[in-house]
């Protein structure tokens, strides 16, 4: 669906994207992961035909984004970061305008607008001025816009940025749903987002593509998760190590209250293992003051990935 | 040209749902109303009818009040077109649809041109009023409106161009106003330079000269060629400018 070969982009002397190549197969949901400023948005803007590349080329559904621009753009629905919209337009009116730009035939426009309003769950705000919408609704209007004309490919730049936790959950569920009928490429700087929504991951760091592949392979290192507990009482360590699913433990602080880092065998089983930890501690009469998951920071993961490559 | 009509309609609507178009039109009509009142008063005060110029000719061709407001108001009408879309980021959504840059530029330009025409439309009442109290040469009215339309179309094209140069509406307005003032001052050269090429050139670009000709019913094709150059050249540069900052 997307073929990128040897793509580079310089802003003056700044190299935002350095010679990256990748492909995205039809029917997959791919996460484009990287810290802020890694070159995610620049790459997506080039894929969506907004920016020109310094070198390399991009094909969308077999059409070159530069020489067959209109053909290529008809294949994709793009949602820019922060989804910029015209504040003085009403939601349905804006979507009608966009459907016209995207070449939806006149006779189908109303039906198409109704369909995406429904799909992106903005029906209840169809006649509200965009300027009066909350951030979450604006994001959904951006998503509705990307869905107009049912393009086979969706490119979403940070679809959950700036949303509250409820909205994030909704948008993620929606993306998973869309993944059943579309090829989706979405960018994010949040690792857990990729875990929840994507099948494959592209990791970009300082303009370089540092890792690529199915999440499972890529995340083998990350599969082990750690939790930190604060307990009162002796021999807590032995109790913890006896729990099924616990790999190793390490005492961080000693004293009347002990802070212990517990490494779990599998991230998938994190919830269940934590429950088991609580029960085991209670049974042994050890007080539990605090239990919180510790996730490796994205920067740590990136440094791991980059050092591994070299 | 896909997208042209959609962009034209959206842009036109956006002019009239925001206060800008109404503010510009109100200011314009107040000034032109006063202008016409002064012209009429002047003619009414003359004891004997004489000369070959009536109030309509005077309105279109003999005072600067007709186009001085245009030098200020045209940049205000056009400053938003691209600068605002670039500032707010909506240009990204616009240019990632399968429409051509030319369709975007022409759609926006056509919308501002329509707004400009709407701004002039109420002044037709002046002609109708004058025809009730005296003789009006409708040919002169026709050529007069042709001239203000052609001159304004060039001003708006220049404004569209400067709007594509910057993210700031204010900078866009200042750049186009300065360009229009420079053109106006160049026209004054006709009265300053001695006989020769410089004077010819200044006479050729003089908006004053053009309005004078057209208000007497003289349609000089050289003037229209100039006007169309002032429309097409800036629009061509606009398309190139939009592509340049997007693709470079």
Q: What is the pLDDT of residues A199-247, one digit of tens each?
A: 888 888 888 888 887 776 665 555 567 788 888 877 888 888 888 888 8
Q: Which among A48, A82, A97 is the nearest to B96, CB-wise?
A: A48
Query: pLDDT (tens digit, 9 = 90+) per residue, B204-242?
Result: 888 878 888 888 888 888 888 989 999 999 999 999 999
- The stretches in chain A having pLDDT less than 70 are 216-224, 267, 295-310
Query: pLDDT (tens digit, 9 = 90+) per residue, B132-161?
Result: 877 788 888 898 899 899 999 999 999 999
Decide if B98 touches A, using CB distance below 8 A. Answer: yes
- Measured between CA atoms, the residue of chain B closest to residue A151 is B97
Rounded to whole angstroms, how far apart are CA atoms B103 and A45?
Answer: 21
Pairing of strands A63-64, A183-188: unpaired
* Residue A6 to chain B, least CA–CA distance (Å): 17
Report CA torsion sign: B205, B208, B211, B213.
negative
Q: Which two structure tokens, joined as six digits, stand for B89?
A: 């980021």
* Residue A72 to chain B, least CA–CA distance (Å): 8
Which of B182, B196, B10 has its CA nearest to residue B103? Answer: B10
Rounded to whole angstroms, how far apart are CA atoms B100 and B96?
Answer: 10
Q: Which among B88, B97, B98 is the nearest to A84, CB-wise?
A: B88
Cα separations in angstroms, A218 against A183, A201, A202, A244: 20, 8, 10, 25
Tokens 């032109």 found at: B32
Rounded to whole angstroms, how far apart are CA atoms A161 and A279?
Answer: 37
What pLDDT does B220 receive?
Answer: 84
* Residue A73 to chain B, least CA–CA distance (Å): 5
What are the residues of chain A with a beta carbon less than 8 Å away from any beta carbon of chain B?
45, 48-52, 69-71, 73-74, 78, 80, 82-86, 88-89, 97-98, 100-103, 145
Q: Which among B89, B100, B246 is the nearest to A84, CB-wise?
A: B89
Instruction: Taking residues B178-193, report their average pLDDT.
Output: 87
What pLDDT does B66 receive?
Answer: 80
Rounded to whole angstroms, how far apart are CA atoms A80 and A82?
Answer: 6
Pairing of strands A55-60, A153-157: unpaired
- Other C-beta atoms closer than 10 Å to the C-beta of A62 total 11
Class of residue B124 by CB neighbours under 10 A (exposed 0-12, middle 13-18, buried 19+): exposed
Percent of chain B with pLDDT over 70: 97
Q: Which of B6, B10, B96 would best serve as a mutation to test chain A binding (most A beta carbons within 10 A)?
A: B96
* Residue A14 to chain B, least CA–CA distance (Å): 13
Report CA torsion sign: B215, B217, B223, B224.
positive
Which of B64, B71, B33 has its CA nearest to residue B215? Answer: B64
What pLDDT does A310 receive?
Answer: 41
Rounded to whole angstroms, how far apart are CA atoms B186 and B204?
Answer: 10
- Measured between CA atoms, the residue of chain A closest to residue B103 is A101
- Measured between CA atoms, the residue of chain A closest to residue B246 is A51
Cα separations in angstroms, A124 against A92, A119, A120, B226: 11, 12, 11, 53
Q: Indicate yes or no: CB of B90 within 8 angstroms of CB of A52.
A: no
Rounded to whole angstroms, how far apart are CA atoms B53 and B60?
Answer: 11
Rounded to whole angstroms, how far apart are CA atoms A232 and A259?
Answer: 9
Q: Which among B10, B92, B246 is the nearest to A97, CB-wise?
A: B10
Rounded to whole angstroms, how far apart are CA atoms B117 and B128?
Answer: 18
List CB contacts of A28: < 8 A, sequence separation 6 or more: A179, A183, A184, A199, A200
Q: Indicate yes or no: CB of B14 within 8 angstroms of CB of A74.
A: no
Q: Indicate yes or no: CB of B246 within 8 angstroms of CB of A70.
A: no
Q: Which among B14, B96, B99 is the nearest to A78, CB-wise?
A: B96
Query: pLDDT (tens digit, 9 = 90+) per residue, B157-181?
Result: 999 999 999 999 999 999 999 999 9
Decide if B107 touches A, using CB distance below 8 A. Answer: no
Rounded to whole angstroms, how far apart are CA atoms B125 and A307?
Answer: 78
- Measured between CA atoms, the residue of chain B closest to residue A41 is B92
What pLDDT does A196 receive?
Answer: 76
A166, A5 Cβ separation under 8 angstroms: no
SS3 track for chain A: CEEEEEEEEEECCEEEEEEEEEEECCCCEEEEECCCCCCHHHHHHHHCCCCCCCEEEEEECCEECCCCHHHHHHCEEEECCCCCCCCCCEHHHHHHHHHHHCCCCHHHHHHHHHHHHHHCCCHHHCCCEHHHCCHHHHHHHHHHHHHCCCCCEEEEECCCCCCCHHHHHHHHHHHHHHCCCCEEEEEECCHHHHHHHCCEEEEEECCEEEEEEEHHHHCHHHHCCEEEEEEECCCHHHHHHHCCCEEEEEEEECCCEEEEEEEECCCCCHHHHHHHHHHHHHHCCCEEEEEEEECCCHHHHHHHHHHHHC
Rounded to whole angstroms, how far apart are CA atoms A243 and A236?
Answer: 11
Q: Which among A51, A97, A102 is the nearest to B247, CB-wise?
A: A51
């Amino acid at each position: 669906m997307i073929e990128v070969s040897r793509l580079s982009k310089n802003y003056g002397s700044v190299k935002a994207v350095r010679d990256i190549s990748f492909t995205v197969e039809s029917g997959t949901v791919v996460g484009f992961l990287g810290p802020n400023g890694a070159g995610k948005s620049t790459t997506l803007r080039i894929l969506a035909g907004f920016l020109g590349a310094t070198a390399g080329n991009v094909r969308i559904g077999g059409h070159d984004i530069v020489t067959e621009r209109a053909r290529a753009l008809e294949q994709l629905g793009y949602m820019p970061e922060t989804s910029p919209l015209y504040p003085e337009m009403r939601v349905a009116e804006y979507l009608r305008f966009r459907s016209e730009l995207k070449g939806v035939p006149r006779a189908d426009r109303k039906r198409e607008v109704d369909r995406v309003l429904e799909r992106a769950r903005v029906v209840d705000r169809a006649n509200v001025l965009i300027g009066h919408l909350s951030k979450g609704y604006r994001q959904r209007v951006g998503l509705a816009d990307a869905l107009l004309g049912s393009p086979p490919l969706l490119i979403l730049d940070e679809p959950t940025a700036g949303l509250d936790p409820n909205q994030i959950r909704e948008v993620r569920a929606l993306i998973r749903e869309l993944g059943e009928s579309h090829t989706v490429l979405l960018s994010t700087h949040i690792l857990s987002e990729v875990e929840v929504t994507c099948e494959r991951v592209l990791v970009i760091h300082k303009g370089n593509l540092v890792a690529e592949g199915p999440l499972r392979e890529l995340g083998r290192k990350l599969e082990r998760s750690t939790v930190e507990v604060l307990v009162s009482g002796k021999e807590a360590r032995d109790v913890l190590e006896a729990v099924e699913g616990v790999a190793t433990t390490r005492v961080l602080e000693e004293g009347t209250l002990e802070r212990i880092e517990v490494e779990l065998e599998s991230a998938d089983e994190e919830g269940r293992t934590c429950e088991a930890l609580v029960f085991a501690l209670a049974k042994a009469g050890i007080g539990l003051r605090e239990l919180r998951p510790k996730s490796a920071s994205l920067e740590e993961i990136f440094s791991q990935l980059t050092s591994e490559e070299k | 040209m896909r997208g042209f009509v959609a962009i034209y309609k959206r842009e036109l609507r956006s002019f009239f749902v925001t206060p800008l178009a109404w503010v510009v039109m109100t200011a314009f009509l107040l000034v032109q109303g006063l202008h016409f009142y002064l012209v009429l008063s002047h003619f009414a005060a003359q004891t004997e009818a004489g000369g070959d110029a009536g109030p309509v000719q005077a309105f279109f061709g003999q005072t600067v009040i007709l186009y001085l407001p245009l030098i200020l108001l045209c940049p205000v009408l056009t400053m938003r077109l691209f600068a605002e879309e670039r500032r707010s980021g909506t240009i990204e959504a616009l240019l990632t649809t399968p429409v051509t840059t030319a369709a975007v530029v022409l759609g926006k330009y056509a919308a501002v041109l329509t707004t400009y025409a709407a701004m002039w439309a109420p002044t037709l009442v002046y002609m109708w009023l004058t025809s009730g109290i005296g003789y009006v040469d409708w040919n002169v009215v026709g050529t007069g409106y042709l001239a203000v339309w052609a001159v304004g179309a060039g001003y708006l094209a220049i404004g569209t161009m400067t709007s594509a140069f910057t993210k700031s509406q204010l900078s866009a307005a200042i750049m186009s106003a300065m360009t229009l003032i420079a053109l106006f001052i160049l026209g004054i050269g006709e009265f300053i330079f001695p006989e020769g090429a410089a004077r010819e050139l200044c006479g050729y670009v003089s908006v004053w000269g053009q309005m004078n000709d057209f208000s007497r019913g003289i349609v000089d094709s050289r003037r229209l060629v100039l006007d169309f150059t002032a429309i097409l050249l800036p629009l061509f540069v606009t398309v190139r400018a939009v592509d340049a900052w997007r693709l470079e």
